[in-house]
Amino acid sequence: MNTKYKGIKASNGIAIGTIYLFNREEVTIDKSEITDSMVEEEKLRVKNSIDDYINELNDRKGASEAQIHIADAHKELLQDPYFSDTINSKI
């Protein structure tokens, strides 16, 4: 069975390659209150999540050069002190 996908063309002509289908999921943000005693634990949770994601980005098996560049850009953003400082200030 063939599945037909509809998209927006970037240029004229025919392209052959792998299709990547991205689904947009609704993100829910938990805005619950935390106590002062929970602040450091929450900051550690954020740090661990960032570290885990950086480790995932380091797994480059089968990645194209373009994908590697995108992963590197994501890592730079995640490692920017302004990024983590802003998150920690919100906690």
Nearest 5°: CA angle at 48, between 61 and 55?
A: 10
Domain count, the chain: 1
pLDDT of residue 86: 95
Is 81 part of any domain? Answer: yes
Is 26 part of any domain? Answer: no
Is 18 part of any domain? Answer: no
Is 46 part of any domain? Answer: yes
Q: What is the mean pLDDT of residues 12-37?
A: 80
The domain containing residue 82 runs over which residues?
36-90
Is 29 part of any domain? Answer: no
How far is Cα 72 from Cα 13, in angstroms, rounded to an integer? 31
pLDDT of residue 33: 86
Q: Could you report the per-residue pLDDT of 38-84, keeping only the tens digit for each?
A: 999 999 999 999 999 999 999 888 888 888 999 999 999 999 999 99
Q: Which of the pair, 4 or 87, is modelled with greater confidence?
A: 87
